[in-house]
Structure 1
C-alpha cells in the first residue's frame, strides 16, 4: 500500500469502528451511563484506570465499582466519609485492589478541591504539543497527599518512557468529539490535535504491520513515532485512527 491507499484504508476502518455499536463491547459504555460532566469524567477516569486484561472482566468490574460509588461518582468523591471508604474493601481488579481504589477516591477529591478538577489538572501547558508533561505533572498532583507507594504504579508516567495507554485512552474519551456519540468531547479547553494514540499490544502490532511503527517496545518513544505518522494523515484528529488500529487488531485479527 502506498501512503494514499493506506490513508484511504484506515479512514474507511475509522468509519466502520467509530460507530455507536462500538460502545456495546467497550469499557467506554460505563461513562455513557451518566449525563453530568463530573460523573462522566470520574467514571471514565476510574474505568480507564482498570482497563487492562479481558474486556468483559473490565466492564463487569467497572460496573461493580460504580455501584460501590452509589452510581454517583462525583458526589461520592467529593463527600465520602471514612466509613464510605470501608465499603470499598471488597473491590479488586487484578493488581488494583481496595487500597488503590480508596487512594484514587481521596486523590481525585484532592484534584477537584485543590487543582480545579480533572480537566484543568490534565491540560497541556506552555505550547506543548502532546500530553507527556501534562500527565507527568498530573501524577505529581495526584500523589501530593499521603498515600501508599504501591498505588503509584496505577498512574503511568510518560517522562519515565511509559506509553501511558490507559490515561491516553481516557483523554481520547474526554477530548475528542467524534460527532457519532462514542467519544464525549466534553473537555472544551483541550485540543484533540494534542492527543496520542492509546498504544497497546493490538494497536502496536497492527501499526507495525502497516509500517506506521518500527520500534519494537510499546513505550513513549514508540508512541512518538506512531503519533508522527498518524499526524501526517490527520493533524487535527490523529487519534481517530485508534479505532482503525484497535478494530483491525481485536475484531479482525489483522
Structure 2
C-alpha cells in the first residue's frame, strides 16, 4: 500500500476498534468501574502491571485484586494499615505474587502523600539524561518511575514488574497505562485524565499483535520487541498523525487480535 492508502486504512481501523464495545474483553474495563480520578488512575496502574497473558485471566485476577482493595483503591492506598496488607500476600497472577502487591501499595501511598501522585510524577520535568536519542522524554519518565519505586526497600524479584525503556524494554504495560490516562475520553475508551501530557508524547504499547501487524504493513522492520522497536514504530505512526499517533494502537491490535490480518 502507498502511504496515503495505508493511512486511510489505519484511520478506518482505529475508528472501528476505539469503541466501548471492545471494553468487554479488555482490562481497561476495570478502571472504568470507577468515577473518582484517583481511583481510576490507581486501579488502572495496578491492572496494567498484571496485564500479560490471557485476557480472561487478566480480568479474573484484576477483579480479585480490586476486591482485595475493598473496591476503593485510592482509599485503601492512602489509609491502609500494615495488617490490611496481609491478605494481599495471597494474590497471585503468573509471576506477580507474594510481597509484590503489598509493596506496590506501600510505594503508591508514598507517591500520593508526598510525591504528587502518578499524574504529578509523569507530568513534571525530570532530570534523567540519556545518550540514546531514541528514548523520548516520556519514556525516560517511565524509567524514573522504576527508579522511584525501587528506591524503597524491596525484594529483588519484584523489580521485573516495572519496565525500564532506558535499559531497552518496550515497556508495553506502562505505555498502555499512559494511553489510558492521557488520550481523550470522547470515544468512551481512554480516560483523558492527565491534560498536562499531550497525546503526541505517547508511545505505542508494543505487544505481539501490534508488532506482528506493524511488520506485515512494513512500518516496523526491527525484529525484537524492544525500546528501539517502539521508537521505530513511533516515528512511523507520527508520520500518519503527529498529534495522536497512539490511536493506531487500536488499529494494529484489532487487526491482529480480532481479524488475524
If the length of structure 2 is used for normalisation, what is the TM-score? Answer: 0.95
Aligned twin of 1:204: 211
Aligned twin of 1:41: 41
* CA displacement at 1:126 relative to structure 2: 6.6
Distance in 2 between residues matched to 1:87 and 1:214, nearest whole Å = 46
Range 17-26 or range 118-127, more displaced:
118-127
Aligned twin of 1:245: 252
Distance verdict in 2 for CA 1:83–1:117, change over 3 Å:
same
Residue 184 (structure 2) pairs with residue 177 (structure 1): yes
Aligned twin of 1:120: 120
CA RMSD between the two structures: 1.3
Distance in 2 between residues matched to 1:130 and 1:23, nearest whole Å = 29
Aligned twin of 1:214: 221
Instruction: Look up the SS of the partner of 1:216 in the other structure.
Output: coil
Aligned twin of 1:25: 25
Answer whether contact 1:207 1:245 (CA < 8 A) is retained.
yes
Residue 139 (structure 2) pairs with residue 132 (structure 1): yes
Distance in 2 between residues matched to 1:86 and 1:28, nearest whole Å = 27
* CA displacement at 1:218 relative to structure 2: 0.3
* CA displacement at 1:123 relative to structure 2: 2.5
Residue 217 (structure 2) pairs with residue 229 (structure 1): no
Aligned twin of 2:77: 77
Distance in 2 between residues matched to 1:17 and 1:130, nearest whole Å = 28
Gap regions ≥5 residues in structure 2: 128-134
Distance in 2 between residues matched to 1:144 and 1:114, nearest whole Å = 14
Gap regions ≥5 residues in structure 1: none
* CA displacement at 1:149 relative to structure 2: 1.2
Equivalent residues, number: 254
Aligned twin of 2:199: 192
Answer whether contact 2:89 2:100 (CA < 8 A) is retained.
no
